[in-house]
Structure 1
Amino acid sequence: MANAGQASGLVAAGLGWGIALGVALGTLLIAPALQGSLADAGVSAATSDTDAEAAENTAQDADAQKKIDASNILLADQAQGIVEGVLDGVAVTLIRTAAASDADAAGVRWMSNAAGASNAGGIGLTEKFFDRDAADELSSIIATTLPAGAQLSVENRSPGTHAGESLAAVLAADPETGEAVAPAGDRAFVLEALEAAGFIEARGPIAPASVLFIVTGEEATDGYEAQALTDLVAALGANARVVLASGSEGPEIEGVHTVPFVGTEAGRIAAILKASELVGAQENAEEAEEAPAEQ
């Protein structure tokens, strides 16, 4: 980990450019609207000033984009060296929403492989998973397929929460033992039932994982769909090591590490390093518990 300091610097720089991209896009959207509103109001005297300001904004946007592109090129060249070995022997499962892009999901998987992680399979959450009209069906399947080791909340009975608690038991390995929380038969039973009903799509053989990556795209920011996703991720995070790799800025969810702009090299690298931190924190905690006994 001699390059850890350099890696953190590069990642921070990349995230900074990712934020700059959001600002630039916001400027591109706002500027035309401002010009239109001024024209509609009949402020013709300010036309030349407005044009000059628009030209300046366009130049700034172009400059910001060049910096973003340069940052991504640099990080792409250095990515493998930055993450190499940080997830050696760590089993990783990738969960993606229907809105997540293929490129972002593939990018996170490639980066985790470059970091030395083992592929524990993946699942895709379909649009039906977050459909209000299918909520009762999802709740029924979760209740009737409850795997050993799973406990469903009695305080929060939302379908997303209960689905997250069930999936954590079948997808995550016990952080202390590394063994599966639920028996293999239960894991297959739950996943097959959800897939048959059209709630998920399994990708490859699925084994217990030490880290769950959840890759999202441009998700709804309010309403039932947004709340269902938040409930799901929060429940998974309460029962497993989870990194939420968001296509945008992403929601802030207690107990879950959110990494924004996963469509950039910086975002993907940051997601891997965050997963490494989660694994390292658990190992350090175990060593701290064992230390007194050794003295």
Structure 2
Amino acid sequence: MIPGASGPLGEADLLRVCDLLYRRTGILVPGNRRSFVERRVLERMRATGAGALPDYMARLRADADGEVQHFVNAFTVNETYFYREAHQLRCLTGSLLGEITAGRAPNDPIRIWSMPCATGEEPYSVAIWLLEHWPTVDAWEIEIVGSDIDTRALAAAEAGRYGARALGRLPPALVSRYFVPEGDGSWRILPELRGSVRFSRRNLVDAVGMAQEGRFDVVFCRNVLIYFDDASRKIAAATLFAALRPGGFLCLGHTESMSRIPSRFRTRRFPEAIVYQRPEDAHE
């Protein structure tokens, strides 16, 4: 029930909320998730003290106390863990980096982007995997960036503190090597490793903001396009294409592909994974 209303979120109210979320993030909420939308809006109304939905919508329009960001945070999904979809990590060191470094001088920068990065497990996984599985890692200047639209998730990523579920796929030896027990059942990633990843707030459908990060050799963008419709997916594909250096690689989630939208990416099938490449001769 919405405070000040005679019943649950009405159809018109639902459309207004979902339209705002879509315009801000590109996320399309399915019609069968009405209870999810109502629950999140109710949480934010209680947090802000709004007595009725019109009051809360007015607060959003004014962006009082940064409420738009809190609203966006309430709808993001941050389900992740270390070494998720490890076949792509194997592809990174087994195939992709060999092509990327061919013809480059030692100490040239190698840029890897996790977008969206949620609470940091993915970019930290990349850092650990490189240390464990790429013998020439010290010969290159590696920059790993994690970005997300959810500011709460980014704060958790920067803190680098994780529970048993997030660490469940990591061998115990790696947990002991790269994490310190906190005493409350959680583990915190070593300061040196936390310092190897830079975090930033970015929106996948904001081309200007995305471009501010520059170009990357590899972009991991996994399990987010499934929440987009074709229009948002097309925008995201364009920003991801622009985010790659010529010859750079895009890794999507195992349930995602570029097949439903026009794409200038080249599909590459490696022994470990299928990835998408920006052709060397591609123009903007």
Q: Larger relative CO (CA 8 A, sep 6+): 1 or 2?
A: 1
Task: Identify whether the pair has TM-score above 0.5, normalized to the shorter chain.
Answer: no
Bigger share in strand: 2
Structure showing greater radius of gyration is 1
Give the alignment's TM-score, normalised by structure 1: 0.31
